[in-house]
Amino acid sequence: MTHQFSRLLIRRQGNKPAASEVLNAYLTQCKKPPWTSYFVKYTSVYDDQWGQSHFNWPVQETNYHILRTGCYPYIKYHCTKRPYQDLQLEDTFFRFIKIANLGIPCLAYGLAATLLIKHIEIVHTSKGNVKIYFLYKEDKGSLY
């Protein structure tokens, strides 16, 4: 990595935690729930998972399947505790659908979410606290 590129990357990140750090911190903070679904504002994080739609995410010894989409002004995460699985085909499919729809449904979802969000939680990261948003308060141990 060139020095100029690394300086640009650091400037872009600023004092924001990476979206992946917020994901790890939240799942750990909640004692690795069976599932969760939340929004985080683009302005609160550095989006280091840009372009990923459906992927495995290890948190210590636990694996999660992550469904992720940008829905301005948020990034939406749906996390389900599941065994590791090759998700490359699904990831490609979801990206294709988003591109084919020009991102319009994602934008509509994000704008609607601004009106529907009813619950906020704080996630503690190495770069400070980050608010994450929910359509409703979740029962952390619930299977559904």
pLDDT tens digit sequence for 89-136: 999 999 999 999 998 999 999 999 999 999 999 999 999 999 999 999
Identify whether 1 is part of a domain. no
Q: Which two tokens stand for residue 102?
A: 């020009």
Per DSSP, what are the bridge partners of residue 100?
Answer: none
Q: Looking at the domain assignment, is residue 34 inside a domain?
A: yes
139 pLDDT band, cuts 50/70/90, is: confident
In whole angstroms, give the CA distance from residue 116 to residue 12.
30
Within-domain flag for 142: no
Domain that holds residue 91: 17-134
**Best CA proximity match to 129, nearest among 8, 29, 7:** 29
**Residue 32 located in a structural domain:** yes
pLDDT (tens digit, 9 = 90+) per residue, 34-80?
A: 999 999 999 999 999 999 999 999 999 999 999 999 999 999 999 99
In this predicted structure, the answer to whether residue 3 has a pLDDT above a threshold of 80 is no
Q: Could you tell me how many residues make up the chain?
A: 144
Of 23, 37, 67, 29, give the one whose Cα is nearest residue 136.
Answer: 37
77 domain-assigned? yes
How many structural domains does the chain have?
A: 1
Q: Which two tokens stand for residue 94?
A: 């979801």
**What pLDDT was estimated at residue 4?**
55
Q: pTM of the prediction? A: 0.87
- Does 143 reside within a domain? no
Residues 130 and 109: their CA atoms lie apart, in Å, by: 21
